[in-house]
């Protein structure tokens, strides 16, 4: 059984119908973007399938893993932030994933980070725009991602920052660093285009 078969067998056995549908939606979206932006399809498929491995796990179990894996205490009582970090650790053990790019794509799919690879960007944005997502602005984001991956990531990050701030919730520093990274990257690209 190859790694994709092993992962999909795990998903089909353990995920809720809603989580399974989302995960397969992220896979199809990510593979489209991988073809568009020249990213390895096998790595993309693995990262897309594995990104939410610990989503929907009870908070007390996630907290156990945060402590057991030695993750930062800021991830305690924060399923939104902890599930990707835990999955990034556990895919190495449970699925033999050694590729740092895949591990990072899973780890940072919720927050983004400074210096994201093409694979990381694809998993981050595919999670936000897969066909099951329905929120204000998603259609514009779906169009934008087909034109400019970096601009789509920046728009999604800014939307996340606005939402989390308006809710008065903890905003991960990686998200702010990612927003600054993309803003600078796009600004440099636009300046070089003008010359």
Q: Which CATH number characterizes residue 109's domain?
A: 1.10.3210.10
- In this prediction the pTM is 0.96
pLDDT digits (tens, 9 = 90+) for 2-31: 789 999 999 999 999 999 999 999 999 999
Burial of 130 (0-12, 13-18, 19+ CB in 10 A): buried
Q: Which residue range is the domain that position 164 belongs to? A: 3-194
User: Token pair of 38, please?
Assistant: 């020249």
Q: Which residue has the tokens 């599930």?
A: 83
The tens digit of pLDDT for each residue in 77-118 reads 999 999 999 999 999 999 999 999 999 999 999 999 999 999
Note the pLDDT of residue 1: 57
- How many domains would you assign to the chain? 1
Token pair, residue 194, equals 């003008």
Q: C-alpha angle with apex 150: 37 to 175, nearest 5 degrees?
A: 125
At 170 the pLDDT is 86
Spatial distance between the Cα atoms of 88 and 84, rounded to a whole number of angstroms: 6
Rounded Cα distance, 144 and 88, in Å: 28
């Amino acid at each position: 059984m190859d790694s994709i078969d092993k992962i999909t067998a795990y998903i089909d056995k353990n995920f809720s119908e809603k989580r399974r549908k989302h995960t397969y939606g992220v896979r199809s979206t990510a593979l489209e973007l991988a073809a568009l932006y020249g990213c390895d399809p096998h790595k993309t498929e693995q990262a897309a399938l594995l990104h939410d491995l610990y989503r929907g796990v009870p908070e007390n179990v996630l907290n156990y893993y945060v402590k057991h894996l030695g993750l930062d205490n800021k991830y305690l009582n924060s399923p939104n932030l902890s599930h990707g970090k835990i999955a990034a650790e556990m895919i190495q053990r449970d699925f033999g994933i050694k590729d740092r790019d895949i591990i990072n794509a899973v780890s940072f799919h919720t927050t983004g980070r400074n210096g994201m690879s093409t694979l990381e960007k694809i998993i981050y944005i595919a999670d936000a725009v897969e066909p099951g997502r329905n929120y204000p602005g998603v259609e514009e984001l779906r169009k934008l991602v087909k034109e400019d991956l970096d601009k789509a990531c920046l728009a999604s990050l800014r939307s996340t920052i606005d939402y989390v701030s308006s809710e008065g919730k903890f905003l991960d520093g990686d998200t702010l660093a990612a927003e600054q990274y993309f803003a600078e990257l796009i600004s440099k690209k636009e300046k070089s285009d003008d010359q």
